[in-house]
Chains A and B, each alone.
Chain A
Amino acid sequence: MEHQEYIIERYERAWIFFGLAMITVFIILVGYLMLTMGNTNPVGAGRIDATKVRIEGDFANPRVEQVGNEYVAYVQAFAFGYLPAEMRFKVGRKVTFYITSPDVQHSFHVHNTNINVQVIPGEIAKVSYTFTRPGEYPIICNEYCGIGHANMINKLIVEP
């Protein structure tokens, strides 16, 4: 009996080492993907006074700007909607979104892409993406923000 238990514990130990090795591989893969596949990690791009989002600075004038061959978009996510009302980009060009909220937390999730950013009042989120397929992309809020949460929908259009 004692001997048998010893064997069992040895198998378990081997299994645990196998598990840890799997995790190491896994972490390296995830890290590699995050670094190389399209740069969709949201990053903080500074603080902003949430009470002044609507009256001064870049976000008071939500817009899409073309800078050289790329786009920069300043987006306001508010209860309940997004500004600018509609965004248009050309396919294959890098777009950098700067997003903030004047009231409560929201999110900026562009369907069929990896863009999914929590929008936090007082903070500016930045995320970049290159659209490779033309079409209409719905934008939704998946951070619960109140009674109009389900109606907080917008879209962006990628032109060929």
Chain B
Amino acid sequence: MGFWAAVWDLLTTSDHKKVGMIYLVTSFVAFGLSGLMAVAIRWQLAGPERQFLVGDAYNQVLTLHGATMLFFFIIPAGLSGFGNFILPLMLGERDVALPRINAFAAWLFVFSAALLYTSLFFGGAPDVGWTFYYPFSRTTGLGTDFFMMGVLLVGLSSLLGAANFAATVYNLRAKGMGLWKMPIFVWAIFATSMLSLFALAGITAASLTVLLSRKLGLSLFDPVIGGDPVLFQQFFWFYSHPAVYIMLLPYLGIAAEVSSTFARKPVFGYRFMVFALVGIAVVGFLVWAHHMFTVGESLLFQLVFVFFTVLVAVPTGVKIFNLLGTLWGGQLDFKTPLLFVMGFMFNFLLGGITGVMLAVVPFDYQVQDSYFVVAHFHNVLMAGSGFLAFAGLYYWWPKITGRMYPEFWGKVHFWLFLVGYLITFMPQYVLGFLGMPRRYYTYPDGLYLWNELNFASTVGAVILALGGIAWLIAMVQSFRQNVKAPDNPWGGYTLEWATSSPPPSYNFAVQFPTVFKSERPLYDWEKEGLKPTPVDPATIHLPAPTVWPFMTAVGLLITGIGISLAPNLGNAPVGGVAGWGGWLAVGLVLFIYSLFQWALRKEYDHPVVHHTVTGKSNAWVGMAWFIVSEIALFGILIAGYLYLRLTGAAVPPEDHRPALWLALLNTFFLVASSFTVHYAHHDLRTNKFSPFKLGMLISILLGVVFFLFQIWEFAIASGHYVEALNAAGQSEAAQKAALWFTAFFLIVGLHGAHVLIGGTGLALAYAQGLAGKIDSHEQGTLEGSSMYWHLVDAVWLFIVTIFYIW
């Protein structure tokens, strides 16, 4: 295959292994890149008053380092990268539940990283810090717009990926594999996906409101009209703390697999391992405010969060002890992956213990936002999750590339990373005690031990960089030596080792036995003498390649650039960059066009009968999980509104309230359209095509009428809003009305956007109907979009109650 043919194959593929490769390559490149930024940061801080990287340049590098490592390395590498490549193999399946959505999510992920870095061509990277606290984030430069757009797009990609994983685990498992017989890694990905779906709304709400605040001046947080900046922190940490577990759980799964394989034992306490994973996922939701101990909340509020923060250490401790139990008494084979797991155990324990220290509020007051915190989270993320990312990389390297890697360089990499890590971050704990705050680009000379410890830390960073070079050598040597990997080089017992290295596009040309006694099927089958029966590969049909998911993602990238460049009309007005309208128009047109082309391209060229575990279609299950995230998004914004309303900060204007009769009329249109969609779907299932098409058309038109009425209503309301805003300085009632209007535009407008999205979904199904590409067997688009439409309807009833009636 020539180079261009290979590129074309990559752009059009929906093979989960290639999609996994897109994630893995992007995220490990991101790791290398932002690792170099970290070395630059340490170089600047090697001594007092250095001039290597100062001021805004330092702040930009700092922000990019944090954002890239978190959003583009540690979250995707384990979850999306190894998850996509390995999870369907472990389940003994040919692909994920929604292969084309999966490819779209992967490209969207790549492009959101690209979007973040595009800011460099338009006046500089974001310099807000990865936490983009409001109101600071509304005062900073254009880079912040790119950052917010990038976060929104990577969030969408993450949600689609998570819904896809949840549907895969739910619907596609080898026949006979029960939930309690899945490998720990699969459980880890499943738990992480659920966590993403429930929590991601927080950061979507935070970044969306910051973006709207910059672009249009709409903000629930603006203190000038009585909004509450603390609310931003609540939104932000509602995601960003559970995100810590999103960054950890997939890697704990990797640790369990690696320990089990290299200790030649099954994992110790399988059931407790799973309980602990799910326990971490649940308790992880209840700890977010421990980032906010210095904000000035009440004593009880703080104690509750202390309690849950400490509580989350229990399931985490269970994981550590179970890993120890797995290794205990095993025939340990000290290959590179196991070394990384060992390094993880030691370091993660330190990170976990310092985490519990930070939960002690009086101690937290001492070290909040100091280098102690920096050392703590690098301890858990870098020497914790990061080490396990490398454990996974070396462990599955033979399976993924079909080549062995040189063990020597792998071990050099490990030892340099371990030593470098300790020398870099242990001094930072001490620096935290000595009062060095984070995000300082320089510090004065003559402070007790600051010079020495900072210098030591920089030496450690250089050692880490050398470790990075050893890693590169290991990979390059693997390709140069070209030692063919056997199917099962480590003697693993999960299903990914039951196929060739690298696996063929159809994964398995066998029918597996349907007896699953434990999470290690290969061991059980060997013991009982069960053998898979071969299947003729010619009878296996895979999804047809299509470029349109990729093009749809390109459309969103260009749209994202357009929105970022658009003028800021908010609190710090800036004119847009010339040509922003062009970017926006081209992006939107390309997006819509590609989306329709995608919908009109059938998934399979050959008619395929799908077997699913639940009996529901993959589209149905995928959308059901996706809707969880939509409910969470509205839930969190409405919670913010309720808070502002109940504390009396936001009060609807008495004389200029949006009209109730119009809302009720719109309710009628929307509810009616839900019924017409329902009947249209019914007609499709009974093969009545003309009534189906008519029903779809009526539903879409009802949606359009709703939308037009809403635009009219917004046009009137915006006049009253501007009036209230101008009077906010003089009258308290006007101020409260302005905040109420802000919440109104934000939440009702977001619902309007959902009407648009849902309507587009219906239009896609309608187009499929017109082109004759939909029938009672292949109707995924309609199943998804009609369920989404019912959601839009249900949310509207809620909105009518809290905005028009109350």
Contact = CB atoms under 8 A, between A and B. Distances in A.
A19 B317 contact: yes
Contacts of A145: 136
Contacts of A147: 55-56, 59, 127
A120 B295 contact: yes
A33 B229 contact: no
A50 B224 contact: yes
A125 B440 CA distance: 24
Interface string B671-697: 000000000000000000000000000
A17 B314 CA distance: 10
Given A12-B318, A123-B296, A142-B438, A30 B135 contact: no
A134 B438 CA distance: 27
B230 A120 contact: yes
Contact of B362 (A37, A121, A141): A37
B174 interface: no
A105 B133 contact: yes
B441 A150 contact: yes
B303 A104 contact: no
Contact of B365 (A115, A123, A141, A149): A115
A125 B223 CA distance: 15
A49 to B, nearest CB: 7
A40 interface: yes
Contacts of B321: 12, 15
Given A109-B437, A121-B229, A123-B230, A30 B303 contact: yes
A67 interface: no
A19 B320 CA distance: 14
Interface in A78-120: 103-105, 107, 109, 111-112, 114-118, 120
B439 A149 contact: yes
A60 interface: no
Interface in A110-160: 111-112, 114-118, 120-123, 125-126, 138, 140-147, 149-150
Given A12-B318, A123-B296, A30 B362 contact: yes
B311 interface: yes
Contact of B440 (A117, A122, A149): A149
Contact of B310 (A26, A37, A111): A26
Contacts of B227: 122
A140 B437 contact: yes
A8 interface: yes
A50 B314 contact: no
A142 B321 CA distance: 36
Nearest to B434: A111
Nearest to B735: A49
B224 A49 contact: yes
B263 to A, nearest CB: 16
B296 A9 contact: no
Contacts of A114: 362, 365-366
Nearest to A114: B365
A14 interface: no
Interface residues of B, number: 59
Contacts of B369: 107, 142-144
A16 B296 contact: no
B135 A27 contact: no
Contact of B361 (A20, A34, A50, A146): A34
Residues of A in contact with B, size category: 35 or more
A51 interface: yes
B129 to A, nearest CB: 5
Given A35-B299, A150-B441, A8 B135 contact: no
Given A42-B295, A111-B435, A116-B294, A23 B307 contact: yes
Contacts of B435: 111-112, 138, 140
Interface in B605-632: none
A12 B272 contact: yes
Contacts of B313: 19
A74 to B, nearest CB: 16
A149 to B, nearest CB: 6
Contacts of B303: 27, 30-31, 34
B724 to A, nearest CB: 16
B440 A30 contact: no
B306 interface: yes
A129 B295 CA distance: 17
B295 A19 contact: no
B223 A30 contact: no
A33 B365 contact: no
A142 B370 contact: yes
B269 interface: yes
Contact of A43 (B127, B296, B439): B296
A128 to B, nearest CB: 13
A107 B233 CA distance: 15
A3 to B, nearest CB: 15
B366 A116 contact: yes
Contact of B296 (A44, A51, A104, A140): A44
A41 interface: yes
Contacts of A12: 269, 272, 318, 321
A104 B269 contact: no
B443 A105 contact: no
Contact of B223 (A23, A50, A112, A142): A50
Interface string B127-160: 1010101011001100000000000000000000
A33 B363 CA distance: 10
Nearest to A12: B272
B362 A104 contact: no
Given A47-B223, A117-B296, A118-B296, 16 more contacts: A8-B325, A12-B272, A16-B318, A23-B314, A27-B303, A27-B306, A33-B361, A104-B139, A105-B135, A122-B228, A123-B229, A123-B296, A143-B133, A144-B131, A144-B136, A150-B439
Interface of A: 8-9, 12, 15-16, 19-20, 23, 26-27, 30-31, 33-35, 37, 40-44, 47, 49-51, 103-105, 107, 109, 111-112, 114-118, 120-123, 125-126, 138, 140-147, 149-150
7 contacts: A19-B317, A43-B298, A44-B296, A51-B224, A117-B296, A121-B229, A142-B438
